[in-house]
A and B are shown apart, each in its own frame.
Chain A
């Protein structure tokens, strides 16, 4: 009881950091702090991957998630200039009461699963001449043999996601500008701030909804 193996100690530390930081992500009011807490979660997860002998995944976790993706997150938050979450009235109040109940239900489920898992997992089936588990070599081999087709299919997925985001974010076309222009003319105010067409559109939407 008193001689906890060093791995277990490290795991407990890393796991505690990950959970604490994950709570911090949702509890912080300032989105920048949330993003920073998310970076800590990612790094802590990288630690757990490392302990599962998945060195390559751990490295990728740090480089891609904690590095590239989170830098993008922070950039976007700063560019949008969001400071703190605006306090606003919740439309459905009872959700505040239901959400924790559902959270507890999900937590119960996870504990139910975790209790059933024994620490003496069956060893992975190996033939002996495979590269060591978790190395770049073994991942490369899996990626270009059994997972060849999913690997290629992912490229289609990413290409399409790129096209999709461009479609949604590109400049206004002439016709879209005309639509907005018409709405502006209808409102009868030639000197418009950029926010006004949107307000006009919202009015129109309410008319339709009514």
Chain B
């Protein structure tokens, strides 16, 4: 292969370059000055993430289907939009991290570096044009989050959570990799656009092998987005990990995996009109995902009803939200998934941030009963938490309502086969109102607990909270701006040549 065919477009990987470099520099800051690192590291992380944000926006006019680095990197609107959400999650998490690390007296340097590397992996997932890149991005972000889950090393629950996440995560990665290998064997390429072309041309070498390969990839992705029946790890890991890390686990990686999932399934395997096995595969994965969405929503919501621990409840609620997102996924458009992920990320980060602040050192107070009567003691925390809970329940005018509405509407319009799912989802949303209202009732209408002291709030945490609250209300009231961005289609989607 000639170098001129590779299209080494360094500008298209600028976001990944910035975050990876920032990770290395953060480690150097920590190595040379431990004292200054505590102040400098969060500032530098924020600076790097804002620079990444700027580079993504600068890439926007260049969005096209022309892949760079021999088909490894795709710079289209899907990638840019999801990268934006990922980096936004990273910024909010960084703002929250400094207080967490101070309160727990944990060493700061590696935490920020790991967060930067995790962000690099997530960005790679969003921009991957090849199964190899999807896997590398997934592993980079996963390994970083395994370590972050066990960052508080004296806490046995955190250790258990980290180990459980690591073992099950590796197991699911093996499934994903095996699926990719079989897909490669069946089609002769790992390039996602290449797979699509082969399906459309009807040139699949071994159709059965492709069926099994796709099924295994579905398992791998299903695990990472924590949808039922691959959700078993979620409650334990979310409960045991430090709350800030839980906030990171529940948002950034999930957004990124949905981006890669869309790329592989909605784009690569989204071939309803292809001859023979192409259409069969499309039908199969659509049906499988529909069932997964229905089980995920129902199971998540019903089990969440019985939870008395805030973090476990939010974990089951995130399984349910994964189910709602899958309904948007089934339209094979990226807009509903993207908008739902944006709203979900904002309200989840906000909710977990407040749980983190109320939990104190060592996550001691995460039972819902610990929140009794604090409503008017700390109105600056209880009212935002109420907003996030109502938003998750899907009550207007919060962003959660718009997210759900948009997903349900696109599914209802796009295909009559999805209408039953929308009905299941609406019933589920009604069930979920009960457990989202429960913490609010406890906070405002129960007699207060006696030993309650007001938690400290650093300016950076306040800023992060403000961003999530404003975002939750803004996208609930004025979603048009975000939706307009999402409905941009990369031009020339049809005339794409197979790379390689």
Q: Which residues of A contact B (CB under 8 A)?
A: 109-110, 112-113, 115-117, 121-122, 141, 145-150, 153-154, 156-157, 159-161, 163-168, 172-173, 175-176, 179-180, 198, 201-202, 205, 208
Give chain B interface residues in 57-75, CB to chain A under 8 Å: 69-73
Q: Which residues of B contact A113 (CB under 8 A)?
A: 182, 206, 208-209, 212
Q: Which residues of B contact A116 (CB under 8 A)?
A: 206-209
Report whether A150 and B133 are in contact in the complex, using a CB–CB cutoff of 8 Å: yes
Residue among B133, B156, B364 making CB contact with A202, cutoff 8 Å: B156
Q: Which residues of A contact B326 (CB under 8 A)?
A: none
Residue among B71, B136, B153 making CB contact with A153, cutoff 8 Å: B136
Distance in Å from the Cβ of B289 to the closest Cβ of chain A?
19
Q: Which residues of B contact A148 (CB under 8 A)?
A: 6, 8, 69-70
Q: Mostly helix, strand, loop or mixed at chain A's interface? A: helix
Known: A160-B117, A160-B144, A163-B27. A149 touches B13 (CB 8 A): yes
Distance in Å from the Cβ of A123 to the closest Cβ of chain B?
11
B20 within 8 A of A: yes
Known: A149-B72, A201-B156. A167 touches B147 (CB 8 A): yes
A116 to B206, CA, bound (A): 7
Known: A109-B212, A205-B156. A149 touches B147 (CB 8 A): no
Looking at the complex, which of B107-115, B264-272, B278-286 is the stretch in contact with chain A? Answer: B107-115
B407 within 8 A of A: no
Report whether B206 and A168 are in contact in the complex, using a CB–CB cutoff of 8 Å: no
Q: Which residues of A contact B117 (CB under 8 A)?
A: 156, 159-160, 163
A-B pair count, CB < 8 Å, reads 113
Residue among A121, A146, A161, A164 making CB contact with B205, cutoff 8 Å: A121
Distance in Å from the Cβ of B23 to the closest Cβ of chain A?
7
Residue among B70, B121, B153 making CB contact with A145, cutoff 8 Å: B70
> Please, which residue of chain A has its CB at the minimum distance from the CB of B216?
A109
A124 to B72, CA, bound (A): 21
B146 within 8 A of A: yes
Known: A117-B206, A145-B1, A201-B156. A157 touches B6 (CB 8 A): no
Report whether A164 and B136 are in contact in the complex, using a CB–CB cutoff of 8 Å: no
A156 to B27, CA, bound (A): 13
> Please, which residue of chain A has its CB at the minimum distance from the CB of B500?
A146
A172 to B153, CA, bound (A): 9
Distance in Å from the Cβ of B338 to the closest Cβ of chain A?
24
Report whether A168 and B157 are in contact in the complex, using a CB–CB cutoff of 8 Å: no
Report whether A112 and B208 are in contact in the complex, using a CB–CB cutoff of 8 Å: yes
Report whether B110 and A153 are in contact in the complex, using a CB–CB cutoff of 8 Å: no
> Please, which residue of chain A has its CB at the minimum distance from the CB of B143?
A161
Residue in A141, A163, A172, A208 with the greatest tally of chain B CB atoms within 10 Å? A163
A5 to B63, CA, bound (A): 54
A27 to B6, CA, bound (A): 48
Distance in Å from the Cβ of A116 to the closest Cβ of chain B?
4
> Please, which residue of chain B has its CB at the minimum distance from the CB of A142?
B1
Report whether A160 and B212 are in contact in the complex, using a CB–CB cutoff of 8 Å: no
A121 to B157, CA, bound (A): 52
Report whether B157 and A150 are in contact in the complex, using a CB–CB cutoff of 8 Å: no
Report whether B151 and A149 are in contact in the complex, using a CB–CB cutoff of 8 Å: no
Q: Which residues of A contact B69 (CB under 8 A)?
A: 148-149
Distance in Å from the Cβ of B224 to the closest Cβ of chain A?
16
B333 within 8 A of A: no
- 30 A-B pairs within 8 Å (CB atoms) are namely A113-B182, A113-B208, A115-B208, A146-B71, A148-B70, A149-B72, A150-B72, A153-B133, A153-B140, A154-B136, A156-B121, A157-B136, A157-B139, A159-B117, A160-B144, A163-B27, A163-B110, A163-B113, A164-B114, A164-B146, A165-B147, A167-B110, A167-B151, A168-B153, A168-B162, A172-B153, A176-B153, A179-B154, A201-B156, A205-B157
> Please, which residue of chain A has its CB at the minimum distance from the CB of B185?
A117
Known: A116-B206, A163-B113, A167-B147. A175 touches B105 (CB 8 A): yes
Known: A122-B205, A147-B132, A157-B139. A180 touches B154 (CB 8 A): yes
A163 to B71, CA, bound (A): 30
Q: Which residues of A contact B16 (CB under 8 A)?
A: 153
Distance in Å from the Cβ of B120 to the closest Cβ of chain A?
6
Known: A117-B206, A205-B157. A160 touches B140 (CB 8 A): yes
> Please, which residue of chain A has its CB at the minimum distance from the CB of B70?
A146
5 closest Cβ contacts across the A-B interface?
A164-B147, A175-B105, A116-B208, A146-B70, A149-B69
